[in-house]
Amino acid sequence: MMEETFKICQGVYRVYMSYNELTPEQERVMVHRATEAPFSGEYDNFYDEGTFICRRCNSPLFSSKSKFNAGCGWPSFDDSFPNAIKRVPDPDGMRTEIECKNCGAHLGHEFIGEGLTYKNTRNCVNSLSIHFIPNHEELPKIINER
């Protein structure tokens, strides 16, 4: 865990950073695993160069170089950073859910075999789950609360 340790008297106390504060709508998607409406997210039609990070914990998830227009109404990526996302079976039994490997936040779903890119993968992500950092800005510190 990300922690700063302070020695006070003869005891050791740990101070932990909390995750970023979420709006009620972001919490609905990221914590309660809802889905934002298609074509409503700020990153659906967005193609600046930089890094998409987890809105909850700042963990880098996707490079803008892996983003493509799938026409589905949500930001789509055909690749993620190594060890950035966790894939779990969706409760519907038909899809694969993707979540931030660091904090467990719901990101969206992964689809394989659609032939939309040469990697044959589409990570369909809720804009509410990610935050964009342009290439010229420093990435924020990752929050490790779990």
Q: Tell me the pLDDT tens digit for each residue of 37-82.
A: 999 999 999 999 999 999 999 999 999 999 999 999 999 999 999 9
Q: What pTM was computed for the model? A: 0.86
- 2-31 in b/e form (b: 16+ CB < 10 A) is eeeeeeeeeeeeeeebebbebeeebebbbe
Confidence at residue 2, expressed as pLDDT on a 0 to 100 scale: 37
124 in catalytic set: yes
Q: Give the start-to-end residue ranges of the domains of the chain.
A: 3-134
Q: What is the distance between the alpha carbons of residues 54 and 126, in angstroms, rounded to a whole number?
A: 11
Q: Tell me the pLDDT tens digit for each residue of 91-124.
A: 888 899 999 999 999 999 999 999 999 999 999 9
The CATH class, in words, for 3-134 is: mainly beta
